[in-house]
Amino acid sequence: MSHTNSLRGTLLAAAVIAVAYASPAVAQTQAGQAAAPVTPAAGEAAPDFMAMATDSTGTVSHVMLSSLRGKVVVLAFYPGDRTSGCTAELNKFRDEYKALFGDGVVVLPTSSDSLGSHSSWAKDAHFPFTMIADPKAELATKYGSQGGGKYFKRSVYVIGKDGKIAYAEPKFNALAQDGYDKLAAAIKQARAN
């Protein structure tokens, strides 16, 4: 009987370890419960992903980070289409596109909204970028941007040409010019490298 209990304990411990390693974006507490999502830091390899995206024409495409190697990528998570803070942020991205990003930078705003919602908003607002739909929060989880519920935390990542995180702002303030200034400087540095 004690051998069976020992075997069960060993299997349980192995299962807990397997779950911990299967979900690298979620830290585990000593009790085995999920803790806060882990945010990739500057200098770390950006978690790869493949996602569905659309633009203002309604064209749907697959976006794979590894296929964008050699380009600077801005991955911007936001809570929801057409909400006040998100509208301010993406309008700023549109209106100051050249100053913020420049040529050759891939800008990927991302929320849990559908491709149809993204395409409609992008068409109405004349957004010059492709928008990722992440309805299951798989991408947001990899980047520590899952805010609970259907809304993501507003966060921005600049991924360098080498595939590493060049800049991470897990609490991007869409209404503060300072945030955009830091983002522009990080993009300029990543483009130079």
| Residue positions annotated with a catalytic role | 86
Which residue matches tokens 């911007």? 76
| The token pair that represents 2 in the structure block | 């004690």
Contacts of 111 (CB under 8 A, 6+ apart): 77, 78, 79, 80, 81, 86, 118, 131, 132, 133, 134, 152
Give dist(CA 27, CA 5) in Å, integer: 28
| Listed residue (53, 32, 30, 26) closest to 141, CA to CA | 26
Contacts of 50 (CB under 8 A, 6+ apart): 62, 63, 64, 65
Give dist(CA 120, CA 39) in Å, integer: 30
